[in-house]
Structures are given as structure tokens and as C-alpha cells.
Structure 1
Amino acid sequence: MSEAPHGAPIKTPGQLIAAIIASFAIPIVVIVLLAHYVDSSTRTGAGTDGLSDAEVAKRIAPLAQVDIRDANAPRTYKSGEEVYKAVCSACHASGAAGAPKFTNTADWAPRISQGFDTLWHTALTGKGAMPPRGGTSPDDYSDYEIGLAVAYMANNAGAHFEDPPKPAPGAPAAAAAGAAASGAPAAAAGAADQGAAQAAAAVAALASVPQSAAPGAGGAQQSADASQAGKALYQQVCQACHAAGVLNAPKFGDKAAWATRLKDPIDQIYNYALHGKGAMPPKGGSNASDADVKAAVDYMLNAAK
């Protein structure tokens, strides 16, 4: 039995070179096509947007930022809703610490019956667990903006208050409170005027405190950057408890509540803030740097001196 001769598929040098080139080129083309397919397909798994430009920028954004404003530029006021969301919602959204809950007509009815001027005065000077101005300062929100927030909350609970008069350009912030009090009904004019005068006096006292030049608790003057960082961290983290004294936290600006803390060495106070004490978690539950936490402690201590 004879067999047919077997011939080699590559018989010439040219065929050999072509075969070698094809053995390299074909796998490379296949790999490139697979990589393109994988890269262009839609990814829906968890964390697929973790490396997007927006997410990366959010993670590396500094905790505190310096907002430089033109002192001669006309002031842009925030709306009542914006002030409520930034300041008042911390307690009024859930009714924490006895605050009348937002849109709850039963909670707000006895307050609304007192009139807008009385509510405005209470918001400016504080009452019960609520600190003056919700724990903010006149540099953060003017009397007019606080009044807008009061009207916004009350009107969402059944009131029909008008917004307070907008301050004239260049007029002091406290002038709005006096203007509103002068337009109150005659039956409550005396009490409203007295309340407005007390509110204006409280605002003037707060405004006269040299916040930026106040000495730190350690005896050294805070730099402008450290002061801004401390204030920013307080507003973002510490205010949730210290503004209203939640969970026995010393209320912001309450000298009596802070008196016992001021007796401790400053390093010990820093240690409480950094590592936690009682119901307060380390760093208030944030991931702020040690320097920013200490700056926030200095900011609160300076407000209580």
C-alpha cells in the first residue's frame, strides 16, 4: 500500500517570512480589538465612577476655603430657603431639641400667634436650646437673612408673613430689625420696639468682638487661614451638636457651658476633640486634619470668652 507524499506548506523563503509576520500581527490585532471593546463598553458596577474627574476633584478638595470678597461690592443676600437649609434645618427639619418641626402646623401655631417681630427677635437673640442666630454670626448671615428664614419657616406652617424690608445699600444689617419693628401693629408696638432694640444691641456686641484677631486658647494669635479653617469646620461638623447643645455638648457662645472646659489645659481640650469624649466621636465623626480640628476648638473657645 502506497501513501501520497506529504508536501510542506511553506516552500519558499517569501512564504516563511509572511508566516512569521502573520504569527505576530494576528495576535496583536486581536488584543487591540479586545482592549477597544472592553474600554468602550458601558460599566455599571459599583464604584465605576470612582475615578471620574468630578469624583476625584471632590475627594481632593480642601476642607476649608478662603472666600475673598470685595468690601465695596453690593451684598448679595441669600433667600430664606437657603438660610433654612444651611442653618435652621439642623434642628427644625427633625424637631430636635424641642425646635418646632418644619411644616408642622401644630408646632408652629403658638409661635405664629406671637407675630413675626417676636419670632424674628427670638431667632436673633436665642431661646431655650436655640443659640442666637442659630449659632452663626452677623458676618455669616445678616439680620435680614435671618428674618427671611423665619418668614420662610412660618409661612410653610400656615402663616402669611411678609418678608422683612430689605436693607438699603450701605445700611447696617441691624437697621432691618428696627424698620420692621416700627411697622408693627399699635397693640404690640412697645414690645416689638423693645425687642428690636435688644436684638440690635446683641448684634452690635457680637460685631464688636475682634474675631479675626482674637487670641487662641494657647495664648498665640490665630492666623487668618487657621481662623477661617476652624470656622469652616465648625459650620460643617461641630455646629450639628454645639449650636443647640445636643447630647450635652457645650453650646456655641455660652460662656457658662464652656467655663468648666476652659479650666482644662488646652492640650487636653484638643485631645478630647481629636480622640472623642462621651457622646462626641473623634474629630466629630469627620476626617479633618488635626490642625483643622484644633482650629475649630480655638474658634469655639474664642466665642465663649
Structure 2
Amino acid sequence: MSDHAHEHHTGPIKTPAQLLWTSFFAFVAPVFIIIGLVYYVTSGDKPAAGAVDQELATAQRIQRVGTVELRDANRPLQSGEAVYAAQCVACHGAGLAGAPKFGDAGAWAARIATGYEALLNSALKGKGAMGAQAGGAFTDIEIGRAVVHLANAAGGKFEVPQAPAAAAPVAEAAPAAAAAPAPAPAVVAAAAPAAPAAAASATVAAGTGEALYKQSCTVCHAAGVAGAPKSGDKAAWAPRIAQGIDALTASAIKGKGAMPPKGGSAASDADIRAAVQFMVDAAK
């Protein structure tokens, strides 16, 4: 009876080995767990804060660091509203992929406070899910105008950037021309670059679908943002391809889901069809 009562009042630790393991799990193990947590928090081998879309994060890490583009230097500069409609509305119109929504004063207040130069720098170099120049083919001034359009719509007071003044030496060139009339061969030399320019134009026209994709579609389709079928993903595109190119083009023109009409671009229906065909071909 007394032995049973004594056993009943003793604790679960009955041997030195049990005492050792109990001490280990009670004191030593928590120390190592805390060290492991600290190492994880301070290490760089983890997703950045807010990067819940691993495919998007990967796409951002491996995106190209440079491109070669052909642009018409003589075309009129686009207004900020036009650049926004062609390039920015796809994300900023609905606030997709972390983009501050157009006209949302609360979302833009902190950004406006950083100043025009900071906003322009972010737009030119890219930030978050937005690629450099949002993946478009506009000049820095045109991007600046789009930045002003977005910021001012949310309460900013930035001035619209203007084109630089035309070069002045044109007036001084007239007397020189009068003093030494240009010989006939000079005319031939001046006309020579016309052929490469025409060839460049033909190249751009031939790649309209790819060019429009890079300008307006890649923001969402490159990483499958907001439900957009990822470019080159055969499984995601298979049921869509089965609908036929006409049905896909109609959806792109009218808009579907989070995608605005024509992907937020001002492209013609024929160009939209070319871009759709480019994405279909990439998924076959």
C-alpha cells in the first residue's frame, strides 16, 4: 500500500536520462528554434514581402535587362491621356497587380508626395509587377506625361512635360548654303537612307502582333496576372484555341474579365487579331 502511494506521488521523470532529455527540450531546443527563425527572417532566400505570386516574382527576376526597338523619332508626341489609355489602363484602371487605381487619391497620396522625378524614375525603370516603361514603346517625355496624367487625376499638381525646343542652328545654315551651293551628288547622298527606313517600316509591320503583345499584353499574360492565360502555357490556352481565332479576337476587342477592351490599347481590330494570333501560335 505504501509503495503504491509513493509511486502515485512521484513525477514522470524517474531516470537521469529522462531528466537530460526533458532539460534539452525545455531549454536547449527553444534556443535553436529561435536562432533558426532569426536566420530565416534575415536571409534573402525567401519571397519578398507581398510577392504572393511566385510565377510573377520569377518572371520579374529573369526578365530581359535590355531591348532594341525601332521608333519613329518624327512622330508627334503622345499626350499623357493617350499613353495612359494605350499602356497603363490595363492595370491602373482596376488597380491590378498592386498598381494604384486611377483617381484613387488615398492610394496615390504617398506616391505624389515623393515628387514627379521619383514617380517618373519608377515608371521608366519599372517597379513591382510593372516593367520598365510598363513594357511600352514610348519616349521618356511621353511616359512623363502619363505619370502626370495619373498623378494629377488623384490630386497632384504637376506640370505636363513639354518637348525640348527645336535646334537653333537651322537659321545659321542658310547663309552657308547660299555661299556654297550643294552639288548634285549631295542630293543623292541625302536620299540614300530612305531604303533602310522603308525596310525598317516593313519589319515593324510584319511583326505587328508581337509588337502589340509586348506593348500592351505582356504585363498580364507574361506571368498570368489577374486570371490571364500565361503566354506559352499550352494547357491554359488549349480550350481557348478550340474556340477559334475569331472568338478569341472578339473577346480581346470587347474585353473579358479583368482585361479591358483591346487590352487598354488603341490598336485597330486587325492589329488586335495579329496579337491574338501571336499568342495562339506561342501556345501551340
Q: TM-score, normalised by structure 1?
A: 0.42
Q: Which has the larger radius of gyration?
A: 1
Which has the higher relative contact order, 1 or 2, with Cα contacts under 8 A spaced 6 or more apart? 2
More helix by share: 2
